[in-house]
Chain A
Amino acid sequence: MKRRMHINRREFLQVLGAGGAGLTLGVFRLAPAQTQEGSGVFKPNEFLSIDPDGTVTIWVARSELGQGARTAVPMMVAEELDADWEKIRIMPALAHPSKYGSMQTGGSTTVRRGWEPLRKAGATAREMLITAAAQTWGVERATCRTENGIVYHIPSGRTLTYGELAGAAAALPVPAEVKLKDAKDYKIIGKQKARLDTPDKLSGKALFGFDFMLPGLAVAAIAHPPVLGGTVKSWDGSATKQLKGVKEIVQVPHGIAVIADSVWAALQGRDQLKVEWHKGENANLDSAAIEQYFLEKSREQGALVRTEGDAAAALSAAAKHITAQYHVPFISHSPMEPMNCVADVQSDRVEIWAPTQNPQWVQRMAAEVTGLALEKVFVNTTLSGGGFGRRLMVDYAEEAVDLSMRLKAPVKVIWSREDDLQHGYFRPGSYHALEGAVDDQHRITAWKHRIVAPSISAQLFPGQERRGNPDLVDGAAQVPYRLGIIAIDYVMANTALPVTWLRSVYNSANAFVNESFLDELAHAAGRDPLALRLELLPAESRLRGALQLAAEKAGWGEALPRGRGRGIACHACFGSYAAHVAEVTVTPEGRLSVNRVVCAIDCGQAVHPEGVRQQMEGAVVFSLSGAMREAITLQNGSVVQQNFDTYDLLRIHETPAIEVYIVDSTLAPGGVGEPGVPPVAPALCNAICAATGIRVRRLPLSANDLAWS
């Protein structure tokens, strides 16, 4: 059964579509917000308010997935406000179609899209507080200054706190223009701040979607079709009905829902269901067929995305003509908290509590499903136990809304780990054919890359293809090197396996291929991979600084014994520039240990440096896990992997020492959640090649024999 999407592709483009290239800044209105007359609360815009007791409330419109949004966002506001950090309180914003701009947490946008509007929101409030103080004292504004939540009158030393000024400031007009600080004056941005979300997370008090309860809330587990696109033929719930705690069994658009008074009863009840399925047209689909399909597609005429010079001529004239084929698997996001959503549909309103990266889409979906107006749909974004792109989709929220409508009662839909793996949307798999030319002067003279992959955008929003290049070339088309002759083309190869954005989207696959093949060419040309990269990068490329920093810290060039090796890779995406050096040991029997990964990132101004380090460390673990052993495979139309026994993630004993270095910069911030991901797999595989001579062209690594002699 096809899912309706409740959104069109263009709504996504601003944030996600172009892999960070050419995006426009969201337009945020800083109109005065409604405040209770005479309440003494100062709320100059939608992002913050100040209470008479001095408490500063900051509305965070992006989701907290673990990436630190609920710390970095208040840091940007508080900096320009000159707020007392101890008085900051954060509020997750209710979904609203426009007042916060885009609320999507994807494309590493929280900080870079918030940079202007959030600082302006803080600066606007500060201006008004100064005016309020100057008027109270009858002095010139220029004789006042602010620090830590207090306005000072410099000549007299008089002070008023922001709380004391809130009432007066609330009566003032909002200035149209405000001046933002110079980076050298920052007291909060770029400084060490403890994450605001941590204490509750360590005490177990933090409420994730899975923990959210309402009195008498029913819980539903849904039996989904095991074969992709399957539908219910018939079902028998007699055994389920016998179970204590089971209340009802309902057929829903995507399966059979067991409604119970607890998660445990719902899961048990679902186990006892007997469902016959129509398997549908994918009953014979398996991974081998998809790989074969990609291969066949690769022989078609590709659509050109970038061409410079005559590649065919250069390749046939080359001293060395190198060809290589790369295979990248489908993988799963697998956040530790499985999908879930609470929906309460009433005749005139809907309220939803969801761990989502996409509250505005949830809102639109619910309005459409229920027929209610958008402003009657209240979406609360709970904490998410990880997201990585999976929670940009609203499938599980739609199940909750649909079911609450049928039951005429609030309901919480929970997915088990098995649901999450079996019924996910995945990072697309892909096939890549490359050719390169090396001349007798040890120079790279041509680069040819054909990408064969499903398009996320075309699969999710059929008929609304974006003009120009499709998503699947993101990160491949932008190969950053001056390679002389370049020919990059693609063949779109959509399949029945659902796909969506996964941390760094196409950049993870395309950077693996680009940076591995460049390493192949370096070997063929007898060149040092770092020196070659630096030679081929334009002088102004910010990748240079990241490469040099990572290489220096990693001791690039120091000799290692056989069986040990270093690999380097770099990639730019989402406005940031990352380079990693991996160091590995491979035993002659082929046992791999990753000893160390050194990361460097140029993300412009690091707003919360400790958060940047966390994201880079997390990106290394996440991508090592993917590169080393993750793969979603299909057999007879069903996803083979069921739980962490067949889809194991990287564990602590396999995790290397990770060092993170941030390039000093006061340029506008780039993204941080995703850019650390793409260079990991190629740095790792380049290190393996340095250690063993074995070139890995197929992920995951577990599919390769790394034994050497």
Chain B
Amino acid sequence: MPTYTLFVNQKKQLVEVEADTPLLWVLRETLGLTGTKYGCGQGLCGSCTVLLDGEAVRACTLSVEDAADKQITTIEGITAEKEHPLLQAWLEEEVSQCGYCQPGQILSAAALLNAKPHPTDQEIDDAMSGVLCRCGTYPRIRKAIHRAAQRKGGGR
């Protein structure tokens, strides 16, 4: 089996898996990073969203081969940053219900704020429409993104 070098949350990791293994399962099952969630496996729900070189990607449809040698950020990486503005905003707006979709929401929001430090409602809707939340936390997600943007002018 081939070996790949992954940079996950700024840590270098060597993994030995088949080339077409989706990054989602490498993160969850090979590296034990279960914060990234499975929701559909087809790129339709956004639960598995991570950052690849700062951009939001669906880890369930991205092969490990295509993720190799790039910077990957998961929810565990966001959390490692003390008082990350997104996490603070998410807490203050009391966004989470079941919480299952929230890692994907937060990573999508991080990519948005990387690209647009002060997004409009329209830009939030455009960037976040790929991530489903069955609990219906969308109105609070909007508020929390605005709050995070105000706090720091960016998601990094």
Contact = CB atoms under 8 A, between A and B. Distances in A.
Chain A at the B interface: mostly helix, strand, loop or mixed? loop
13 contacts: A66-B96, A66-B97, A201-B98, A201-B102, A204-B33, A204-B103, A213-B32, A336-B39, A385-B101, A388-B134, A643-B41, A653-B128, A655-B136
Nearest to B74: A204
A194 B36 CA distance: 24
B36 to A, nearest CB: 7
Interface in B130-151: 130-142
A202 B136 contact: no
A614 B98 contact: no
Contacts of B101: 336, 385
Interface in B74-91: 74-76, 79, 87, 90-91
A652 B142 contact: yes
Interface string B20-48: 01100100110011111111111011010
A643 B36 CA distance: 19
Contacts of B90: 198, 202
A617 B139 contact: yes
B47 A336 contact: yes
A262 B25 contact: yes
B25 A263 contact: yes
Contact of A263 (B29, B40, B137): B29
Interface in A235-276: 244, 262-264, 267
A651 interface: yes
Nearest to A619: B136
Interface in A262-295: 262-264, 267
A645 B132 CA distance: 12
A605 interface: no
Given A202-B91, A644-B44, A383 B99 contact: yes
Q: How large is the interface on B (under 10, 10 to 19, 20 to 34, 35 or more residues)?
A: 35 or more
Nearest to B104: A336
Given A204-B74, A617-B136, A65 B124 contact: no
Contacts of B28: 211, 263
Given A644-B44, A652-B124, A652-B128, A622 B99 contact: no
Given A202-B90, A385-B99, A652 B129 contact: yes
A619 B135 CA distance: 8
Contacts of B74: 204
Given A202-B79, A202-B91, A610-B94, A649 B34 contact: no
Contacts of A66: 96-100, 135
B11 to A, nearest CB: 15
B57 to A, nearest CB: 17
Interface of B: 1, 18, 21-22, 25, 28-29, 32-42, 44-45, 47, 74-76, 79, 87, 90-91, 94, 96-103, 106, 124-126, 128-142
Contact of B97 (A207, A614, A644): A614
Contacts of A211: 28, 34
A620 B37 CA distance: 25
Given A334-B134, A618-B137, A657-B139, 16 more contacts: A66-B97, A198-B96, A202-B90, A210-B34, A210-B37, A263-B25, A263-B29, A264-B29, A335-B100, A614-B97, A620-B136, A644-B132, A650-B136, A650-B138, A652-B128, A655-B139
Given A195-B96, A336-B101, A385-B37, A202 B106 contact: yes
A465 interface: no
Contacts, number: 177
Nearest to A262: B29
B98 A337 contact: yes
Interface in A37-85: 64-68
Nearest to A597: B139
A274 B123 CA distance: 46
A667 B12 CA distance: 58
Nearest to A193: B94
The 7 closest A-B pairs by CB, nearest first: A204-B35, A621-B136, A66-B98, A385-B100, A201-B99, A66-B97, A204-B75
Nearest to A68: B97
B44 A336 contact: no
Contacts of B94: 194-195, 198, 610, 614
Interface string A25-40: 0000000000000000
A416 interface: yes
A618 B95 CA distance: 11
B97 A67 contact: yes
A558 to B, nearest CB: 23
Contacts of A115: none
Contact of B87 (A202, A650, A653): A202
A404 interface: no
Nearest to B139: A658
Interface in A514-562: none
Contacts of B39: 336-338, 417, 644
- Report which residue of A334, A338, A652 has the largest number of chain B beta carbons within 10 angstroms of its beta carbon: A652
Contact of B99 (A194, A202, A387): A202
Contacts of A643: 40-42, 44
A67 to B, nearest CB: 7
Most B C-beta atoms less than 10 A away, residue of A197, A336, A338 = A336
A337 to B, nearest CB: 5
